[in-house]
């Protein structure tokens, strides 16, 4: 279970650009829940993920995982139990290394990176099988440099790599935003499959309202650092895209954009 308690975050305090993003923000995500988060730019979606992952530190408040306060853990320590896929497909993979090497790195997450062979030849068949489940033909490109793959292929690989080892949370940071609509659909399908198969506790930030409505067990709409819509269970199932779109337009008009 993941809890954010009384999170406060002020950007540029004391200057003319002072901006209070979070003022006493609270969120609780129970185990195995798939949360979709929507909201306009600057509403605090990505900042929330960054606070969870430790990429930015909150001014006040607690980040609690399974009852333990992880405020004092640094970003790389927290990410041992978190898998994260970024908007930019190049962030989840190493462009100058090949697919096999990238998967070997991901497969070793949580273990020491010592002086044993980087690529374990016995695992190649397992990797090929995982890749073939993506349905993108990557299983025949094990020795291709990841930098020469398309954005969609790289994002699929990044998703696979972030979930290869047992993790407690999956953080998806607008992971379909940089892809064309068709590829985005494929990646979203894959995401759903992986999340359900591995029963991962997932927080997905997206700009695509349709995905937020279609996928996930819970929908949160953020606005000015607050969750103005938070529906789960049956309420979530009954939401339709038009309804969400209407609320979204209302808050956008309020902001004047």
Please give the residue ranges that form the binding site for another protein (CB under 8 A).
74-77, 79-80, 83-84, 86, 90-97, 101, 104-106, 108-110, 112-119, 147-148, 162
Residue with tokens 């609690």: 64
| Shortest reach from residue 93's CB to another protein, in Å | 7
If the CB atoms of residues 111 and 246 are measured against another protein, the closer one turns out to be: 111
| Shortest reach from residue 168's CB to another protein, in Å | 12
Token digits of residue 114:
């010592």
If the CB atoms of residues 77 and 235 are measured against another protein, the closer one turns out to be: 77
> Which own/partner pairs from 210-217 qualify as long-range (CB within 8 Å, at least 24 positions apart)?
210/241, 211/36, 211/176, 212/36, 212/37, 212/38, 212/244, 213/36, 213/239, 213/240, 213/241, 213/244, 215/34, 215/36, 215/188, 215/191, 216/34, 216/35, 216/36, 217/33, 217/34, 217/35
If the CB atoms of residues 13 and 147 are measured against another protein, the closer one turns out to be: 147
Question: Across the strands, what pairs with 203?
Answer: 35, 171
| Shortest reach from residue 26's CB to another protein, in Å | 27
If the CB atoms of residues 154 and 218 are measured against another protein, the closer one turns out to be: 154
| Shortest reach from residue 105's CB to another protein, in Å | 5
| Shortest reach from residue 83's CB to another protein, in Å | 8
| Shortest reach from residue 116's CB to another protein, in Å | 6
Alpha carbon distances (Å) from 249 to 42, 84, 103, 193: 15, 29, 42, 31
**Could you give the 3-state DSSP secondary structure of residue 2?**
strand
If the CB atoms of residues 1 and 119 are measured against another protein, the closer one turns out to be: 119
Q: What are phi and psi of 40, to 5 degrees?
A: -75, 175
Residue closest to 81 by CA, chosen among 169, 174, 20, 151: 169
If the CB atoms of residues 115 and 253 are measured against another protein, the closer one turns out to be: 115
């Amino acid at each position: 279970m993941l809890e954010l308690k009384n999170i406060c975050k002020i950007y540029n305090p004391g200057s003319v650009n002072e901006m209070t993003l979070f003022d006493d923000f609270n969120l609780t995500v129970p185990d195995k829940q798939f949360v979709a988060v929507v909201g306009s730019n600057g509403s605090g979606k990505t900042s929330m993920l960054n606070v969870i992952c430790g990429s930015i530190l909150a001014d006040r408040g607690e980040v609690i995982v399974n009852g333990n306060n992880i405020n004092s853990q640094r970003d790389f320590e927290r990410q041992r139990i978190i898998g994260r896929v970024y908007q930019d497909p190049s962030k989840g993979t190493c462009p100058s290394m090949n697919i096999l090497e990238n998967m070997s790195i991901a497969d070793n997450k949580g273990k020491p990176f010592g002086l044993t062979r980087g690529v374990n030849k016995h695992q190649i068949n397992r990797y090929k099988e995982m890749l073939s489940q993506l349905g993108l033909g990557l299983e025949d490109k094990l020795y291709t440099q990841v930098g020469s793959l398309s954005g969609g292929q790289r994002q699929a690989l990044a998703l696979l790599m972030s979930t290869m080892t047992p993790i407690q949370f999956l953080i998806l940071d607008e992971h379909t935003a940089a892809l064309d609509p068709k590829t985005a659909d494929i990646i979203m399908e894959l995401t759903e499959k992986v999340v359900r198969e591995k029963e991962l506790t997932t927080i997905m930030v997206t700009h695509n309202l349709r995905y937020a409505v279609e996928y996930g067990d819970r929908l949160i709409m953020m606005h000015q650092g607050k969750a103005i819509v938070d529906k789960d269970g049956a309420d979530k199932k009954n939401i339709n895209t038009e309804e969400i779109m209407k609320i979204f337009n209302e808050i956008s008009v309020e902001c004047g954009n």
